[in-house]
Structure 1
């Protein structure tokens, strides 16, 4: 069996390692450059590879192709494979059959990283032998090759879900759905929604789907479509006989006739959206039969995720907050919603078809100045030019932070929450967040 791996990054190299171990004839092809560290791994494992090109004769003879999530379906080489009827799958689909471990799959437009990390923290603190993979950390396929975990918490993007055929998580979570990556879905929101719901398509009556019952797109899909999984909703406004909810400043989760309660103010993560993430993670912990005391302790000591509403420093009584992970409007909505002091907002980057109107009320209420940090800021200026008193354009992070210091006064906050992708000025959102933190430390 010939396995061709497109993309020589973390998921690609991991898949190649697992494929080689399982006896496949493996070839890795990357249209860009493969990092030196990954090349060394491939060479040491005796896996053939190429970079900065796709040699068709070495790719179109595949029995199966694993495509990295960053490569669009519209890429010419992918189109040719599909035309020939060669299965093009994701790393998760390739690796899942080689492990007996239970998987917990988490998807959503926002909150999936925090929910994934929190769920992993809960299970790990309870002493479960659990791995963390998907969009985060070390490749799932490589961890399956090492075979040392009984369960995995997987953060799954819509791109990874597009490449599944038979994969099913035992427990699936959909944190929420809002328009994102529409450039990859023919600008059709319904295609993107369907893509997220692939997480439950192979689930059976023995499996669970945990979902945000306050989310319009999720509720509509569930009304029109069927899943065989057992449904476990969570909500800030409704209560359930089975599910998680907030009542009288207390989070309650009732699952399999067992009740769990915890006062919301004891939960370490701040903000309404984080209560939702906590309800989702708690629901998993209850399904995995973790002790109540362990759940309480884990929820009260969880430190949060880097680049997600991360408090960096307070300088002259101004709080600097790094929310670089907010790459869409919905994520920035949560960030602005959680601000309770006048805010200098640093925003901008590569727009993925954003509608800034959703933020209008929050900007009017909370934002005193906007600093645009992008190559093309026209949409932001058109949207908010008449709403805030101060609007500035900069093109380096250090300029943005210095300008923010200049504009802010005691008691304000400076919030980096770009609502856009980072590729115009930075390598990725992590690079953007690190540059912000460095610039703040250098003030």
Structure 2
């Protein structure tokens, strides 16, 4: 690789040293600055002069950035250090992913998973089925959801490190955000760009719904972002949710549909999972019983069928699957405490509906919702409207701004809090609000009878709940 070839590939401009890369100079590894070693390439959204000095001292091959700050260009010129500036950092990360797969995992079969809800569970289940069948698999979905975005070269780094440490991969299972952005700006065609970089044999699209308000402002914009993904999958198989009207509209060369309602699909649920009319997984063997998690199972099973995995291995993988953190996870028995990462309208409605099914007799349901901080009024308005739609007079609602556990990137603004209060008041829905999550959890636990159910929902503002509860229960 030559530096001008790299720059041209990502629409970049070279500063500092423009006569670099002899082939031996680049290790083939894209990574982050703090992890970089001699000959690596670093991709960062921004870099300053100090960062250039660090990179030069480490003998890094090159830095790619979108935002040079505080003397970065001048320092690169002074040190004769190669710096590439691109208008779209996502081009660099897609290039890094494509290069890494070609160099480190050229023979793996690659799977991409996108959609608004269920990506992580679907990806993790596909990974588990393949892993339990004895294959060497890499996935960027993890229990803490730290690596399931592709806005930096972390996934490229992890792939190269995994292959270097443990040998060739059989499968890559990569979760791709259906909508992605940086500092409030949409990275247009992110899902398509990253899917194309992987050259997948199988792609999964779980559903299309509203989230990421501000990056996109209508369901049509979400559809536009997802609609190009089947073209990126190309001649591969695209696993599609037949029950989602927008997903059904997508044009794919080789679609494979599953359904919860339509038994004419190749794969469907009817008190068990059926494939071509035959029962392949009994209902009692499913790790989840709630509808939205059964949908994730169908997506994962559909993907594995089209990878040619033996049905018995798929069955065993599903039966032995254990959920990711905060996916309808049980944290306590008496009272029953359920924790779920429901953070957008569809997730909130589905999770509360499933929890209501668990309520029997004199049991009370207490819903504790963390308001989404620093995500804008619009998404919080949609979330509170979803709450209003599914709550009933027998459900106790508690809200938390979680000031005690979030950083400034997730702080609930006065306007975000106000839209929650206003819509609940307009609909005569009673609620209790707490500034701090620990106070909210203490109050709810103190009020709940041992036979009651407490449901915790929300994104970053509810993430620390499990650890806080250890000191409360």
- TM-score, reference length from structure 1: 0.75
Q: Quick one: which of 245, 249, 261 aligns to 1:216?
A: 245
What pairs with 1:128-277 in structure 2 (closer than 5 Å)? Answer: 128-133=135-140, 137=147, 139-146=154-161, 147=163, 148-158=168-178, 159=180, 160-161=190-191, 163-164=193-194, 166-167=196-197, 168-185=199-216, 187-205=217-235, 207-219=236-248, 221-222=249-250, 226-228=251-253, 230-242=254-266, 244-247=267-270, 249-254=271-276, 259=278, 261-277=280-296
Q: Tell me if structure 1 keeps the 8 A contact 2:68–2:85.
A: no
Partner of residue 335, structure 1: 351
Structure 1 residues 142 and 295 mapped into 2: Cα distance closer, same or farther (>3 Å)? same
Instruction: State how many pairs are aligned.
Output: 387
Q: Tell me if structure 1 keeps the 8 A contact 2:348–2:386.
A: no
Aligned-residue Cα RMSD (Å) equals 3.8
Q: Distance in 2 between matches of 1:415 and 1:295?
A: 31
Q: Tell me if structure 2 keeps the 8 A contact 1:29–1:50.
A: yes
What pairs with 1:35-434 in structure 2 (closer than 5 Å)? Answer: 46=60, 54=69, 55=72, 62=84, 67=89, 87=91, 89-90=93-94, 91-98=96-103, 99-100=105-106, 101-133=108-140, 137=147, 139-146=154-161, 147=163, 148-158=168-178, 159=180, 160-161=190-191, 163-164=193-194, 166-167=196-197, 168-185=199-216, 187-205=217-235, 207-219=236-248, 221-222=249-250, 226-228=251-253, 230-242=254-266, 244-247=267-270, 249-254=271-276, 259=278, 261-314=280-333, 317-323=334-340, 325-339=341-355, 340-341=358-359, 342-347=364-369, 348-350=371-373, 351-352=375-376, 353-354=378-379, 355=382, 356-364=384-392, 367-373=395-401, 375=412, 376-385=416-425, 390-418=430-458, 422=460, 432-433=462-463
- Which of the two has higher C-alpha Rg? 2
Q: Tell me if structure 2 keeps the 8 A contact 1:42–1:49.
A: no
Residue aligned with 2:273, SS: strand
Instruction: Return 5+ residue gaps in structure 1 as ranges.
Output: 7-12, 69-86, 427-431
1:16 maps onto 2:31 in alignment: yes
Structure 1 residues 251 and 64 mapped into 2: Cα distance closer, same or farther (>3 Å)? same
Residue aligned with 1:294, SS: helix
Partner of residue 72, structure 1: none
1:345 deviates by 1.6
Residue aligned with 2:293, SS: helix
Instruction: Return 5+ residue gaps in structure 2 as ranges.
Output: 13-27, 149-153, 181-189, 403-411
Structure 1 residues 264 and 384 mapped into 2: Cα distance closer, same or farther (>3 Å)? farther
Q: Tell me if structure 2 keeps the 8 A contact 1:373–1:397.
A: yes
Q: Distance in 1 between matches of 2:434 and 2:92?
A: 42
Structure 1 residues 365 and 298 mapped into 2: Cα distance closer, same or farther (>3 Å)? farther
Partner of residue 21, structure 2: none
Q: Tell me if structure 1 keeps the 8 A contact 2:365–2:396.
A: yes
1:304 deviates by 0.5
Deviations 1:169-201 (A, max 9, x none): 21010111111113113x233222221233222
Structure 1 residues 211 and 136 mapped into 2: Cα distance closer, same or farther (>3 Å)? farther
Structure 1 residues 442 and 45 mapped into 2: Cα distance closer, same or farther (>3 Å)? farther
